[in-house]
Structure 1
Amino acid sequence: MMTALRHALGLSALCCAAFGAGGAASQSETTVTMMSFDQLDGWAEDDHDLAFQAFMETCPDLDDPDWSSLCALAQSQPQGSARAFFELFFRPVMIEDGKKALFTGYFEPELSGSKYPTDRYRYPVYRLPPEARGNGQWLPRRQILTSGVMAGRGLEIAWVDDPVELFFLQIQGSGRIRLPNGAVIRVGYGGANGHEYRSIGQELVRRGVFNAHQVSAQVIKNWVRRNPAAGRELLFHNPSYVFFREVNQVHASKGPLGAMNRSVTPMRSIAVDPAFTPLGAPVWVEKDGASQMRQLMIAQDTGSAIKGAQRADIFFGTGDAAGQAAGQLRDPGRMYVLLPIQRAYALLPEDL
Structure 2
Amino acid sequence: MNIVSRLSLGLSLALLSSCAEPQSEAPLQLTPLTYAMLDGWSAESPETLLPQLRTECQRLMRLPPETHLGGAAGTIPNGSIAGEWHGACTALQSVENTRDAARRYFEQWFAPYLVSNDALFTGYYEPQIYASSVRTEAFQTPLYEQPNDLIHTRDTAGDWVTGRWEGGKFVPYYTRAEIDHGALSGRGLEIAWLRSPEDLFFLQIQGSGRLVMTDGSVRRVGFAAKNGAPYVPIGRVLVRNGEMAAEDVSLQSLKNWLAAHPDRAQDVMEQNPDYVFFKRVDTIPLDRGAPGAMGVPLTPGRSVAIDRSLLPMGAPIWVDTHLPEANGGEGHWMHLTFGQDVGSDIKGADHADLFTGWGEDAERLAGKMRSHGRMIVLLPHPPA
Q: TM-score range by the shorter chain?
A: 0.7 to 0.9
Within 5 Å, give how 1:75-224 maps onto structure 2.
75-80=93-98, 81-95=101-115, 100-134=118-152, 135-136=161-162, 137-146=172-181, 148-224=182-258
Q: Which amino acid aligns with 1:322?
A: A
Shift of 1:249: 1.0
CA contact 1:128–1:190 (8 Å) conserved in 2: yes
Give 2:180's aligned amino acid: L
Give distance in 1, aligned partners of 2:365 and 2:26.
Answer: 36
- Alpha-carbon distance in 2 for matches of 1:140, 1:335: 36
* Residue aligned with 2:374, SS: strand
Amino acid at match of 1:193: N
> Structure 2: 5+ residue runs without aligned partners?
1-24, 62-81, 153-160, 163-171, 324-329
- CA deviation map 1:153-191 (0-9, x unaligned): 110000011321210100110001011222112111111
The residue that corresponds to 1:284 in the other structure is: 318
Q: 1:102 to 1:57 in 2, by over 3 A?
A: same
- Mapped partners of 1:65, 1:152: distance in 2: 47
The alpha carbon displacement at 1:342 in A equals 4.3
Of the three residues 364, 376, 381, the one matched with 1:324 is: 364
Worse-superposed segment, 54-63 or 172-181: 54-63
Deviation at 1:295, TM superposition (A): 0.2
Over the aligned positions, Cα root-mean-square deviation in angstroms equals: 1.7
Distance 1:182 1:305 in 2: 34
| Contact 1:60 1:68 (C-alpha < 8 Å) held by counterparts | no
Shift of 1:276: 2.1
* Higher deviation after alignment, 275-284 or 131-140: 131-140
| C-alpha separation in 1, matches of 2:49 and 2:311 | 17
AA of the residue aligned to 1:239: P
State the distance in 1 between where 2:96 and 2:241 align.
Answer: 58
8 A contact 2:50–2:97 mirrored in 1: no
The answer to whether the 8 Å contact 2:226/2:277 transfers is: yes
Deviation at 1:29?
A: 4.8
Q: Which runs of 5+ in 1 are unaligned?
A: 1-26, 344-352
Supply the AA of the counterpart residue of 1:165: D
Partner of 1:38: 36
Percent identity, aligned pairs only, is 39
Q: Distance in 1 between matches of 2:53 and 2:350?
A: 20
Contact 1:104 1:313 in 2 (8 A): yes
Q: Give the Cα–Cα distance (whole angstroms) in 1 for the partners of residues 94 and 196 of structure 2.
A: 48
Whole-Å separation in 2 of the counterparts to 1:92 and 1:267: 20
CA shift for structure 1 position 28: 8.6
Matches within 5 A, 1:287-302: 287-288=321-322, 290-302=330-342
Amino acid at match of 2:31: T
Tell me the amino acid that sits aligned with residue 59 of structure 1: C
Matched, 1:336 2:382: no
Q: Which AA in structure 1 matches 2:50? A: F
Q: Write the mapping of 1:53-64 to structure 2, written as runs, cut at 5 A.
A: 53-63=51-61, 64=82
SS of the residue corresponding to residue 289 of structure 2 reads coil
Shift of 1:52: 2.5
* Cα distance in structure 2, aligned partners of 1:329 and 1:28: 23
Q: Deviations over 1:121-173 (max 9, x none)?
A: 11110011122222323111111111x22111110000011321210100110
- Counterpart residue number, 1:313: 353
Number of residue pairs matched by the alignment: 314
Aligned-partner Cα distance in 2 for 1:189–1:342? 33
Within the candidate set 246, 255, 261, 2:295 is matched to 261
Shift in Å, 1:60 = 1.6
Give the SS at the match of 2:149: helix
Relative to structure 1, is the Cα distance of residues 86 and 163 closer, same or farther in structure 2, using a 3 angstrom cutoff? Answer: same
Q: Distance in 2 between matches of 1:233 and 1:166?
A: 15
Instruction: State the alpha-carbon separation in 2 of the partners of residues 310 and 56 from structure 1.
Output: 26
**For the Cα contact (< 8 Å) 2:86–2:382, is it kept in 1?**
no
> TM-score, length-normalised on structure 1?
0.85
Q: Which has more helix, going by share of residues?
A: 1
* Higher relative contact order structure (alpha carbons within 8 Å, sequence separation ≥ 6): 2
What SS does structure 2 have at the residue aligned with 1:158? Answer: strand
Aligned mate of 1:225, from 249, 259, 278: 259
**Partner Cα separation in structure 1 for residue 298 and residue 345 of structure 2:** 18
Residue type of the alignment partner of 2:381: I
Q: Is 1:241 matched up with 2:275? A: yes
Once the two structures are superposed, residues 284-321 of structure 1 have per-residue CA deviations (whole angstroms, 9 ceiling, x without a partner) of 11114633210000110011111111210000001222
Asked if 1 retains the 8 angstrom alpha-carbon contact of 2:87 and 2:381, the reply is no
SS at match of 2:294: coil
